[in-house]
Chains A and B, each alone.
Chain A
Amino acid sequence: MSEELICITCPMGCRLKVDRRDDGTLSVTGNRCARGIKYAEEELLDPKRMVSATAKVSKPGAGLDAVSRVPVRTSVPCRKEAIGDLLADIYALTVDLPVARGQTLIQNWKGSGVDVLATRTLP
């Protein structure tokens, strides 16, 4: 049984056809370059995504430039099936100001090697 994928490594958008061999490895066709094979393997064997979201700020200020959310991202891609749980933990955060861009808000989330970082500096 073969599966169809669109490679998202570059804008070409190659339509990949992937078959599982008996030994568990994959046979990929339809790719125009080697990156297509790597993409198909990651996508079918261990799909991951970068996650970006926002976290609550503990005491948002007043005035025109008051900010109530701090944007965050993962340091590395997170396993797709874990994204829902990760988001729940990000939404449960309350971040005290000041916060610096790149500051770690969650370290090594559930031992996955994924950190959650602030992407904006708030005084």
Chain B
Amino acid sequence: MKELTYDAVVIGGGAAGMAAARELDAAGCSCAIVEREERLGGILGQCIHNGFGLIEFNEELTGPEFAERMEERVRGTGVAVYTGATVMEVDAAPEIKSLFCYSASFGVIRLNARAIVLAMGCRERNRGNIRIPGDRPAGVYTAGLAQRLVNIEGFVPGRNVVVIGSGDIGLIMARRMSWIGCKVHAVVEILPYPSGLTRNIVQCLHDFGIPLYLSHLTTRIIGRERVEGVEITPIENGALMHEKSFVIPCDTVLLSVGLVPENELSKDAGVELNPMTNGPVVDSMLMTSVPGVFACGNVLHVHDLVDYVVEEAKRAGANVARWLKGERPQAEARIKAGPNVRYVAPSRADPSRDNKIYLRSLVVKNEASLEIRVNNRVVRTVKKAHIQPSEMLSVDLSRADLATCSGSPDPTVEIALA
């Protein structure tokens, strides 16, 4: 068995992993990326539409372009890259941690490191997760799987499509399927508002005259061998209106019903997870409950822009380098999700530094305000022109904001939206 030792090993070679590894290298730490696919880039490779990179590269790029630009940055450094290698086991021992990787070209590799960066991304929720009743025919795909089939493999998964869920991948796929000559008959959303970005509703649905059924539940998938249709039932005042159910004939169902951080390895390493994000609980350095194990990107919480993933992962990489050099936060303040906030990440802030906090709203509102409260006292209010659950928000917690934390034994910062 090949055995190699680095200061840090990054699990996952997508946008987060590449950004974290590059920061580690820049800070003088030896570092490796382990990626199970044959090439770096993660999900970006199949996201052939544009809209990426406005923050990171100051121009609008497609997913493959963004991935290649990131990869070029990594290739120009001392970062070791293992592609086609899957991490099967993590031993997160206190001093030296070990990862056991399986690779078709190298066999089993053991990578030792003082720090591990979790950057495994997320995966799609599927039919089982949302329990759609009915038959079990062929033709039911998650939207991301269909995206891979169409954009990478070059297969057309069906001709007459219904998209369940109005997440962005589903909307993007509604347009993609239309552009390859398929007919998209409907997008069905259980909530009274769409989960995707407004601009995607316009560009991907309105442009093609695709109806969006809000407050509608898919109550049955119909078909013996292949999908023949879906039964849709309106929801009025919280109740299913079975007498108003109707069937949309189709041969293909695409599911765009949310993403879940992929934390199997994290659990293996003994990392504590946050039930609101399904990602690790992390401190102000983005370190998990297991010392020396860090997390960033979609494995930590699902982001809606890759630019934010990179921003967070760069910070994680820099923090890991600081940690490897012996820096530890002195005293931290707990960060709590206040009214109308679904979650905050990270869960702790360092009052001696500036902190970046990401959060998601529970409500849709224009002209909203975000309140920072330290020990129940409002220290600052930030105006937000528009908030909605599908758009991640961020706030900078500065040293000045957190000044009143000192002198308090267990300081608490609460972020609230109104």
Residues of A within 8 A of B (CB): 6, 8, 11-13, 32, 49-54, 56, 64-65, 67-69, 71-73, 80, 83, 87, 101, 119-121
Contact = CB atoms under 8 A, between A and B. Distances in A.
Given A119-B62, A120-B68, A53 B48 contact: yes
A54 B48 contact: yes
B385 interface: yes
Contacts of B104: 64
B209 to A, nearest CB: 13
A11 B206 CA distance: 16
A64 B202 contact: no
B179 A87 contact: yes
Contact of A71 (B48, B84, B180, B197): B48
Contacts of B63: 71
A49 B197 contact: no
A101 B39 CA distance: 16
Contacts of A87: 179
Given A13-B386, A52-B48, A119 B64 contact: yes
B203 A49 contact: yes
A83 B207 CA distance: 11
A12 B202 contact: no
B179 A11 contact: no
Interface stretch (B86-94, B108-116, B147-155, B225-233): B147-155
B206 to A, nearest CB: 8
Given A64-B84, A69-B154, A8 B64 contact: no
B43 to A, nearest CB: 13
Contacts of B65: 101, 119-120
A31 to B, nearest CB: 13
Given A6-B198, A52-B48, A65 B39 contact: yes
A32 B367 CA distance: 11
A30 to B, nearest CB: 12
Given A49-B207, A50-B50, A64 B38 contact: yes
Among A11, A56, A65, A121, max chain B CB count under 10 A is at A11
Contacts of A119: 48, 61-62, 64-65
Nearest to A64: B38
A18 B330 CA distance: 58
Given A53-B179, A101-B65, A121-B68, A12 B48 contact: no
A91 to B, nearest CB: 8
Contact of A69 (B68, B84, B152, B201): B152
B366 interface: yes
B147 to A, nearest CB: 11
A69 B179 contact: no
Nearest to A32: B385
